[in-house]
Amino acid sequence: MFFHVILTSECNLQCKYCFGESLEDFDEAFGDDIEVDYNLPKNVSYEIPQLEKFCRQDPDCVLTFYGGEPLLQAEKLRQIMDEVVPKHFMIQTNGLLLDKLEPKYTNRFHTILVSIDGEEALTDYYRGKGTFRKVIDNLKLIRQNGFEGELIARMTVMEQTDIQKQVHWLLDNREFSFSSIHWQLNAGFWGNDYQRRNFEEWTQTSYVPGVRALARFWVDEMQLKGTVLKLYPLLGIAESFLNDEKDCLMRCGGGWINYAIQTDGNIIPCPTMWGMKKYYLGHVATANPLALKKIFVSEKPCVKCQILSICGGRCLYTNITRRWSDEAYSKVCYTVAQLVESVKAEMPRIEELIRNGKIKLGDFDYLKYNGCEIIP
Ligand code: SF4
Ligand code: SF4
């Protein structure tokens, strides 16, 4: 099982799609049936031996440090890494404080997911001036200091993002190129942003054409270089087609294999469901990690969807909270359908390249539920 360990709710950035949106959306409630505890402790309040005992019950326990910004609680993180023995440690971070963690800890991460949205101007536009430079300098430093694990660029994308241009930039720039990239749409998280945004036009004129071009480019790279780049949305979908995977469940793992542990020790289906009392699934002090209740998407809009078996429902949080109207959310589902079609259209070429030995089926393997949601 995978568990996000939420070390703190505090963050040292004020990103447009997170802090900025929360300012515009502050009066939005979730509806009567979802009561949210807004008084959770900012930092971990349970005992680390409780986490150790919990994790020990599952030989495949993977712990991913998460926040807010988890490195604001570096001392707690060190304590956990000293006292708990999971199969892997991972971290999802904004990268600003990576230089403060000693290599003896950094180098033990199986995977580091770092938030970066593309080139400097775009990253700083979304995440604040100077963010890009500090993050890139820190990534160079951790590589110099011996970090050999997977480093995933985690992009949040919305209307200011040209997905094709920015993914190419992350892959190709001379200063620090990533071989693993995941992107996630800022869509369906907030209650009243759809009306003031230009989401539909952007998806039709920029995002979807960009995804199609990236799918073609991705397979061109296989053909030219024999390399299967870890562009996660494309990789995860192609891997499912290649292995004839039927009936995918929520592909981020939220609610069934990838849970989150709140700062107070309560276990929730995914970190974004922070404080939603109705979905508390047990406490780290007493729960069995292998017997947690599973939560699946409710009927609308997914159960009758023709691509549920490959999409998996996209996001449990948005399915439960339904913050965008059905009409608005259908624009998100359009992007999912187009993404799936873009990969499907390339499958004959991919299968031919595997038959010819240019690439191998194993090149599509990845650690599932590693924090990349696959369906953006
Ligand atoms: S495309 Fe939309 S409706 Fe279909 S399964 Fe995915 S999230 Fe649900
Ligand atoms: S995709 Fe949705 S359910 Fe999955 S981790 Fe992200 S917010 Fe949670």
| Domains, in order of start, for the chain | 2-364 (3.20.20.70)
Helix (H) or strand (E) holding 91: strand 88-93
Read off the tokens for 73: 């609680």
**How much distance in Å is there from the Cα of 276 to the middle of ligand 2?**
14
Closest atom of ligand 2 to 375 CA is: 1
User: Taking the model in full, what pTM does it have?
Assistant: 0.96
**How much distance in Å is there from the Cα of 330 to the middle of ligand 2?**
18
Beta-carbon contacts of 197 under 8 Å, excluding residues fewer than 6 positions away, are 158, 159
Rounded CA gap, 95 and 207, in Å?
26
Q: Which residues of the chain have pLDDT under 70?
A: 22-29, 32
**How much distance in Å is there from the Cα of 189 to the middle of ligand 2?**
10
pLDDT the model gives residue 28: 61
Residue with CA closest to ligand 1 atom 6:
313
pLDDT digits (tens, 9 = 90+) for 223-270: 999 999 999 999 999 999 999 998 899 999 999 999 999 999 999 999
Closest atom of ligand 2 to 271 CA is: 8
pLDDT the model gives residue 27: 54
Closest ligand relative to 316 C-alpha: 2
Ligand 2 mutation pick, 155, 189, 252, max ligand atoms within 8 A of CB: 252
pLDDT the model gives residue 177: 87
Pair 199, 179: CB distance under 8 Å: no
pLDDT the model gives residue 103: 98
Closest atom of ligand 2 to 255 CA is: 3
Which residues does ligand 2 sit against, CB inside 6 Å? 252, 254, 270, 272, 315-317, 373
Pair 228, 180: CB distance under 8 Å: no
pLDDT the model gives residue 161: 97
pLDDT the model gives residue 77: 98
Number of other residues whose CB lies within 10 A of the CB of residue 100: 11
Residue with CA closest to ligand 1 atom 8:
302
- 314-331 b/e with 16+ CB inside 10 Å = b? bbbbbbbbbbbeeebbeb
Rounded CA gap, 44 and 48, in Å?
9
